[in-house]
Amino acid sequence: MGFVRHVVCAMSGGVDSSVAALLMKRRGYSVTGVFMKNWDSLDESGLCTSERDCEDAYKVCKTLDIPFHQVSYVKEYWHEVFSNLLKEYEKGRTPNPDILCNKHIKFNHFHKYAINTLAVRLHKGADLFKDQTFFLSQISQDALRQTMFPLAGLTKEFVKKIAAEAGFHHVLKKKESMGICFIGERNFENFILEYLESKPGNFVSIEDGAIKGEHKGWFTLTLGQRARIGGQKDAWFVVDKDITTGDVFVAPSTDHSSLYRDTMRTDRFHWIADEPPPALARTKMMECHFRFIHQMPLTPCTVTLNMDGSVWISLSQPVRALTPGQFAVLYKGDECLGSGKIIQMGPSEYTLQQGRERLIAAAQQKEKQTPEPVS
C-alpha cells in the first residue's frame, strides 16, 4: 500500500487536532497545520474565541516545527450553513448546523487543501462516546477518499495522555467544545431573534386545545424542550408546531405520548459508500440501526427506498421528540451508512391512540343504534 507523504491537518486550537498533527508527524508525514476561521467575531460579541484558538493552534505548530496557515471561510459559512439555519427555523424545523458545516465547509472547501487518500467507508472510532461519525454522515465519497482520522483508534483519555507527554498543557486544560459554536453562552431565543423577525403565537394544549400562553416565534422552540410559559405552575413541553397558524402545541409531561413516533421520511438520502447499499437496491428494504441525536442509543429499524431516492424509516420502537430538520443517520454494525434530513413524520402515539378510541366509540355507538330483532 502506498503512503501519502504530505498531509494538511485542520487545527482548531484544541487537544484533538493538536494530537492528530503530532501523530501524523510521528508516522513520517510532512504535516502542514491550517486554522479555519468560519465566523467573523469582529461583528459580534460573546462568540467563539477564534483569535485565541488560532493562537493556540499556532503554538502547537511551532512546537511541532511544522508550517502554519490560516484560511477564512466566513463568507462560505454564512451562505452555505448559517443562512440555511435561519431558513430552517422559519419553516418550523430544528436544523443541525454541525452536519452542514462538515459537509459544506470542512469536507468541501477545506478538503481541497488535503489531497491524500484513505479508506472510503466510514467506521465508528475506538472511543464510542466521542465518535464523530454522526456529524460526518453527509460527507462525500470523494472527500473521504482524501481524508485521514489519526485519532480513530484512540480513546479520549489516551489522546489527553499523549498531549500531556508532548507538553500541550495550554490546550489540555481547555473545555470540550459543545453546542453551536457561534452562539456561545448566549440565550438562543435572544440570538435567533436578532436575525429573524419575531412572529408571536399561542401555546396550545395538545389535549384539549386550550391556550396556555404566548411565544415569540415557533422557530425559537424545538420539539421535546420545556416551554417557558408565563403564569403556568406546571411544566409543559413542546410536542408539535403549526407554522401556518403560528400555534405551538404543548403537553403536560416530558414523556407524553404525543412526543413519541416510530416512522419518518427523509429527503434524498446521502449514502457514503454505496448509492444505495446493494441489499436495499435489490429488495427496496433493509434492516439496520438509526439515530438522530449524537450519542443516543441506536434503534433497530427498517428502511424502505422510494423512487426519488428518499427513504421511509420504521423504528422497532417509538423514540422521543423526532424533529423535522434533524438528520436520520443509519448504521450497519460499526459502519455509518449515511444520512438524510427528516422532512416528514408519521403520527404520534397520542394521535394513534386517539384514533383507536374514536373507532371504538363509533363501533359502540353503532351497536347501540342497531334495533333488536322482533320476536
Q: Which residues are catalytic?
A: 101, 181
Measure the CA–CA gap between 321 and 329, rounded to whole angstroms: 15
Residue 35 cell numbers, joined: 486554522
Cα–Cα distance for residue pair 273/279, rounded to 1 Å: 13
Which region, left, alpha or beta, applies to residue 101 given φ > 0 means left and ψ of -120 to 50 means alpha?
A: alpha
Number of alpha carbons in the 13 Å side-chain half-sphere of residue 144: 19
In this structure, are residues 50 and 37 in contact, taking their beta carbons and an 8 Å threshold?
Answer: yes
Closest CA to 265 of 224, 212, 308: 308
CA 162 – CA 168 distance, rounded (Å): 9
What region does 361 belong to: left with phi over 0, alpha with psi -120 to 50, or beta?
Answer: alpha
Distance, in Å, from the CA atom of 183 to the CA atom of 141, rounded to the nearest integer, reads 31
In whole angstroms, what is the distance from residue 109 CA to residue 154 CA?
A: 27
Contact 46, 40 (CB under 8 A): no
